[in-house]
Structure 1
């Protein structure tokens, strides 16, 4: 097995007395799309800022490309492209002019601008002012800037955040293309579970600064195999309270139905009896395989107990 492209060892990070990261041990395989999954405030952006040495880790806590980050910062970050939150774009300049500003800073050949514009599918809008770009186009322009140095590793923090459905699809297709056709290892932070499920080859789940799972995406499903029970009832709030009192995790509660993870189908009859005993009308009970969202909520609930 090849050496991980990112590796952290017992990574801690504090904001004064608050421990934002707690013993983070990441292993990001070369060539992967590594989904870094967690709710807002879990520690995702803090981890990314540490990986980019914007927040300074202790010596020997972070290795990238097999080299210690603090001692080899310039060499390492020269092979890393990053898009952190919303890209900084000069709205009065065109897309091409924005890239020219970055190109001069990173000192790459001028022809690289057209190459990255083609990759991110902005060639037709390259000379339009950025103030006329959609949010999705701005995100792709930011990604083009990150690609100017032709990095081996891309670190993307919530790249689909705020995008409309078409923008999300465009970004998803682009990430897959960069991985498969351009050979980029991609570290992808997101709280959008469905996107991680469609993109990632490997995942880590972080919550409250701790890693709860790390490994292959299919391994997450295998390790948390089970069913999801969908209950349609006339009184979802009361039904949810009954289920919580039975130590079930309510993964969704939308006014019409309740979703809970269960271990086996035999539990369905027990749950039905308990709800009927509370004089609740049950319209439908339906089981399905757990999706990533219900697995994620089940795992993070365990941390709170």
Structure 2
């Protein structure tokens, strides 16, 4: 397993009496695109602000690059680039001038401005006023600013939020290139499930300040309890009674069939035998894997039960 580039243990954070983070423990593998997924208000931005030492947790530890953030703040943050919410851009300046301002603040090399403009594909618009940039171009300019120090780790908070479809595609392609061609580990916060599904190698799901899942994206989608079985049959009430008596979970019942949660494909034969033995005519059985959206909804619902 790749060495973790970010590790947190038992982070608790409060806004007065409101507990925004509840024992948040993360392990972000080096070289990954790590999708940090959760609904709005789940604790994503709060976690990111803790990782950047902007918020200080009441309890817990943060290690980045194998070193404690509290003890090595300047060294660690010098190797981290971040884009949180909307980037701060001087609209009366050109894209290049904006980057020059940031470069002087962070002490970056002069030639790095041209390098990052090329990476984010803003060379042709570098000398246009930022007030004439689209939202997607502004986001890419903000990302260019985050890249000026050539960081090993990029932390991006909702980088596609508010973008039109073409802007989303541009940002997605840029994130993939930064990871594959430039070797950046990317911590990517989002509430857009489809984007995480297209980008992430690893994922964590947070809701109400709690981590509900962390691991490989494939592990989330292919876990044993994420199979569904659709059955077309004649006697729905009889079938429901028989299957629930045997401990099967009925997700949905409709006029000519049932939708069940199953743990393995081996259970399909068992279910079929049970129904036939009970005099139920089975016309069709079909199993499917839940998509990421269904898995996410099922996980977050568990907190409300």
Shorter-chain TM-score tier: 0.7 to 0.9
CA distance in 1 between partners of 2:301 and 2:231 (Å):
19
Q: Which residue is equivalent to 2:10? A: 10
Q: What is the 5 A alignment of 1:48-127?
A: 48-57=48-57, 61-127=61-127
TM-score in terms of structure 2 length: 0.82
CA RMSD of aligned residues (A): 2.6
CA shift at 1:228, angstroms? 7.5
1:157-206 deviation digits (Å, cap 9, x = unpaired): 00000111111000000000000000000000000000000000000000
**Kept in 2: contact 1:81–1:153 (CA 8 A):** yes
CA distance in 2 between partners of 1:68 and 1:2 (Å):
19
Aligned pair in 2 of structure 1 residues 218, 117: CA closer, same or farther (>3 Å)?
Answer: same
Q: Does 1:27 align with 2:24?
A: no
Q: In structure 1, the residue corresponding to 2:13 is in which secondary structure?
A: strand
Gaps of 5+ in 1: 232-245, 251-259, 271-284
Q: What is the 5 A alignment of 1:162-177?
A: 162-177=162-177
**Kept in 2: contact 1:249–1:301 (CA 8 A):** no
CA shift at 1:248, angstroms? 6.3
CA distance in 2 between partners of 1:249 and 1:48 (Å):
36
Aligned pair in 2 of structure 1 residues 115, 230: CA closer, same or farther (>3 Å)?
Answer: farther
Aligned residues: 269
Gaps of 5+ in 2: 233-247, 253-258, 276-284
**Kept in 2: contact 1:261–1:290 (CA 8 A):** no
1:110-135 deviation digits (Å, cap 9, x = unpaired): 11000000000000000011111110
CA distance in 2 between partners of 1:206 and 1:304 (Å):
14
CA distance in 1 between partners of 2:209 and 2:260 (Å):
25
CA distance in 2 between partners of 1:80 and 1:99 (Å):
17
CA shift at 1:71, angstroms? 1.1
Aligned pair in 2 of structure 1 residues 22, 249: CA closer, same or farther (>3 Å)?
Answer: farther
Q: In structure 1, the residue corresponding to 2:222 is in which secondary structure?
A: helix
**Kept in 1: contact 2:6–2:26 (CA 8 A):** yes
Q: Does 1:226 align with 2:189?
A: no
CA distance in 2 between partners of 1:127 and 1:57 (Å):
42
